[in-house]
Structure 1
Amino acid sequence: MDLNKFLSELQSLSPEKQIEGLKALREAATPEQKQLLKHAAENTGNSWFKSALLEITNSGKHVSDIELSQPHGTGDVFDIEAVKSDAISDSIGQMLHELEPIIGSIRVFAEKDIVNFFQSKTCGELEKLNGVLETFESWRRVEQNQPSKEVNIYEEIVKEVDRISQKSQVGIHIDIPKDLVFVLPPSLLRIIISNALRNAVESSNQPTVREKQSIMITGNCNDKFMWFTIIDDGLGLQSKTEVLLKSRHTTKAGNRGLGLAIVDKAVRSMGGNWTLTNSKPYGAEFYFEIPVRE
């Protein structure tokens, strides 16, 4: 087997196919091939692929040869989800690295060339594009292994409320102890709050014949978990949560459907659970809980 050719072909495949090939390679690699893999790992620029190759060099099993199209072995050698997350994170990071300066340049030129730029449709479209980049950055973060630390929940919520309140046509009321502290990854908490709060604001901003009430944010902590909820008085859900999580289904028409999937990944990565249901008499209720760490 030409190992260099195999690795080159492998890196051109999708993450799922790469994982299958790496599993097969781990089962098939000879001691001599493992030495070559160690050298290949040191020269690859892909962090998750490097880690996977180094893991193979430390494995004990080997057979005489391997075919890329027919991977051998059925054991769960790798943490498949962890490897897939690394691959997705690397891919999104590369995409953002390429797109952000281009979009920044477009905005600079547009501000110079367009009269009343900030009132123009071009400005609005660029804001939407920045929103898409923020969504992908959130997606990249939830795919990474985020460190945990003590976080003041109230302070983090206030930051997100201050950031989005100018876009809300209704008030946002916070009812959470100011000294509520919990151990979790702060970046994941911000992603969850930001997505849930943005959904509540966008839903509450939709026109209705009735006067809508404030968005309510409340939560606390007990000896088992920290819980948190956002309740709005908007239009409510048009479908069940499991339907909304599927591709091209969102809580609102025109959205891209990634927000809920990112929230789901963030909450579950902390061992928590969440729900999104219609509230009474109107609106929707987002709820999540994160277990206390031992």
Structure 2
Amino acid sequence: MRGQTWTRRTVALGGALLSAVVLGQVALSGPVAAVPGLQFRTTVGPSNSVAKSQNAVCPTGTSVIGGGGAISGSGLGQVGMDIVQPLANAGLYSVTGREDPNGVAGNWSLTASAICAPAPSGLEVVTGHSAVNSVNPKFLELFCPVGKRAIGGGGAAVGSGASDVLLEDLRIGQNSVTVAGVEAGNAFAGNWSVDASVICVDPLPGEQRVIVDSSDNSTASRAVTATCPAGKSLHGVGGEIVGGEGQVRLTEMRPTSSTTATVRAAEDENGFSGNWKVRAYAVCAT
């Protein structure tokens, strides 16, 4: 596609990124402004107790510029949404969920959401991979080329086949994305790594980042929504757990309308005695 550059890297996920079952596309809204032809797509997968992935696929002629996912059902604090990644060359956003090593008795499902548009000016996706070792926690920041802005991205925390390392942060800065991972309960004995991707474009009209925190306390779960100002539309989503010490898992981080990004998290089955909060990032433009 003319004027569009993909920086592509093949990521070895140790078999954890599973083939997805896509049950259908649902548009959250019609085309909106800012990036011409901006559209939202979401898919909901089967409800069962096995590790699984779910893809939200962009329409033909459009590219993925952001997205996210959610977990619904039983054992929310024991199911890790540990891989949330745009697959640029495939035009989709992919989410993978896995139970912790203790397993969950009930069923749960995955929702994947994609923000799609005809390729914006300067569209480029940069990906990276941390070292594979036992250092805890891990942080990986990727930068856009000079002059470009970060509007979306993705991340993964990869250990064994279970959710024994957690994707804790996906922070979207003005020209970078930072991914943070932490061992579940700060107690994983093996080696692990984090992946990151940043979706970059030329500056957008009226570009603005809205960052909103939830309450900071010791309740078992919480959620927060970042809303774009009037006249602006959502172009990218990020989220972060502040505190939690490896005992809190992201259960939702996705666009919930054409103007809102919602982030949720829940403590694991052992609970967490300290205070923590979640933070939502919305990249907005006119």
TM-score range, shorter chain: under 0.3
Looking at both structures, which has the greater relative contact order when contacts are Cα pairs under 8 Å and sequence separation is at least 6?
A: 2
Structure with the higher fraction of residues in strand conformation: 2
Q: TM-score, normalised by structure 2?
A: 0.26
Structure with the higher fraction of residues in helix conformation: 1
